[in-house]
Amino acid sequence: MHPSQYKTAPDPNLKGWPKGVRYIIGNEGCERFSYYGMNAILYMYIVSLYAGIGIVDDKSADMATSTVHFFKTGVYALPMIGAIVADRFLGKYRTILWLSFVYCAGHFVLSLTEGSVSGLYVGLFLIALGSGGIKPCVSAHVGDQFGKSNWHLMDKVYQGFYFIINFGSFFSTLFIPLVQKWFGWRIAFAIPGILMFVATFVFWLGRKEFVHVPAKPGGYVGFLDATSSVLLFMTFGSLFFTANQSLWLMTVVSFSCMAAGLWVFQVRQSIVADDGFLAVSIFTLKEWCKQLAFNRGEVALAVGSGGRGLIKSGQPGGSWRMNLRQQFSNDAIEGTLAVLKIISIFFLVSIFWSLFDQSTSSWIRQAEMMNRQVTLPFFGQFEILSSQIQALNPVLVMILIPIMLYGLYPWMEKRGMRLSALMRMSIGMFIASLSFAMIAWIQYEIDVLALQNQQLHVGWQFFPYVIITLAEVLVSITGLEFAYTQAPKRMKSTVMGFWLLSVALGNILVALTARFADLKLVNFFWVFAGLMGLAALLFYVRSLFYVQRDYYQ
């Protein structure tokens, strides 16, 4: 079936579920099993790898925490590139399909290079590129399947989308650590690679059922769009790759990317003028700088002539706002403003992700210090692996989603207490701060008992897991729905990229903080509890002034 024969718009009269959704959900379940299975054993693998090359215990743990969060920074920063390529050049379907093969390759590199530091870095880079590149496209692709008649199902599909993510995560987090214990690292990393290949095959099966929203403008011009946007993004994104280099090299690479990106964009504009986010933003910045320079010139003229020579002619060509409206349509300007408004929301959410993603690093490190012996009926007494504790999160998500969706939210709406998306996210961020206050208290008790050669039981981690999972349901699921509905049609994937970039910012904060060797773990937790409380307050204040508008597909 030729790509031009695919459906390019949803059926406006369809009131039920689109047929393509089942393939997306199936793909997502397998892909998440793949990612979280690898992620469950990654921290302990890196600790053992660093210890194997002679790095002492505490230092190897700090470096492993930093490496895990630098990897996650890549996973959640690279979606911006995937979003740009999908929206402007390849379309979501082809971007997802092609990058999925890169994703598979990353898993198999980890499996085949056991014990190699360079193999670790190459494998993680490929996984970050594959996983990160498809992330904004998959979540936007599922929204593309819905039209106006079944738009009311959007909140339910994102709840279901998130449910299947955690379904895959739960079983992989329990299963893969056991595989590693029984069969070693090589097999444990290979199984997620096999599941990723299955995910790719399931996605390919749905190609005839999907709505394929075409990339705009596509073709050669779309290629130039994608190239210029990626280069401009790498103005800052290159810092992730040059962070350990000298300052002059970091500066040269960064400015080279910016200069090349602007040059490619000018070439693109000379072919056919664009009215997208980048074009409007660059034009606005140039016009604003022109007006600023003109105003300063008038002030200098007035001062030099003692105020007598000031000519009240105004800026030639009008103000930057007037010039902007003459150059672009109202829809183009409004779309750019919508994206900027959304970014102002996402920036504050990044602190939430710096807390949430520590369940795969610093919380595992804490679990290693605790008594993990448990007794269950029919199973007797056994020890839980520290990397298995995080399986609490997905199972709690699967419990909380139906409670919130079919219980709490309808109950509140019947009593006139409907919470807006931003209010739910605000509450979730305050709750996240509470989870880290509790995890800090647990660490304090661990340190006290250690002086007496005693251990606190790992069961105490259950309570902060419940709290952080409740926060996740309120922030992450709501944020996915909010990001899609508030994004203009032609910028759906790009806005999803900005949403995921907020996760990257949160992880880079953890990675950098973990490098402070003198910061005790208990103080490390208190720092993030305080940051989250402050960010939640600022987010709530910002939400009071945000006016929501849904952009239907």
The residue ranges of the chain whose pLDDT is under 50 are 1, 309-317
Query: Smallest Cα–Cα separation from 390: which of 348, 345, 357, 423?
Result: 357
Which residues are 457's β-sheet partners? Answer: 371
**Residue 235 amino acid letter:** T
Query: Smallest Cα–Cα separation from 406: which of 170, 161, 156, 158?
Result: 156
**73, containing H or E segment:** helix 57-77
* Residue 201: count of CB within 10 angstroms of its CB: 13
pLDDT computed for residue 8 by the predictor: 79
pLDDT computed for residue 468 by the predictor: 94
Residue 431 contacts residue 474 (beta carbons within 8 Å)? yes
378: left (phi over 0), alpha (psi -120 to 50) or beta: left
Residue 89 contacts residue 215 (beta carbons within 8 Å)? yes
Digit-coded pLDDT (tens) for 286-318: 888 877 777 766 655 555 655 554 444 444 445
Residue 290 contacts residue 320 (beta carbons within 8 Å)? yes
Whether domain 11-217+329-543 has CATH 1.20.1250.20: the reply is yes
Digit-coded pLDDT (tens) for 43-55: 889 988 988 887 7
- Give the torsion through C-alpha atoms of 230, 236, 238, 244, to 10 deg: -170
Which residues are 373's β-sheet partners? Answer: 383
- Give the torsion through C-alpha atoms of 404, 341, 500, 152, to 10 deg: 40
pLDDT computed for residue 318 by the predictor: 57
Residue 179 contacts residue 43 (beta carbons within 8 Å)? no
Determine the straight-line distance between the first and last CA of the chain, rounded to whole angstroms: 24
pLDDT computed for residue 310 by the predictor: 44
pLDDT computed for residue 411 by the predictor: 82
Give me the helix-helix angle, 117-144 and 478-485, nearest 10°.
60
Separation of alpha carbons 480 and 160, rounded Å: 12
| Domain ranges for the chain | 11-217+329-543, 277-325
pLDDT computed for residue 305 by the predictor: 57
Phi and psi torsions of 8, nearest 5°: -110, 0
pLDDT computed for residue 490 by the predictor: 65
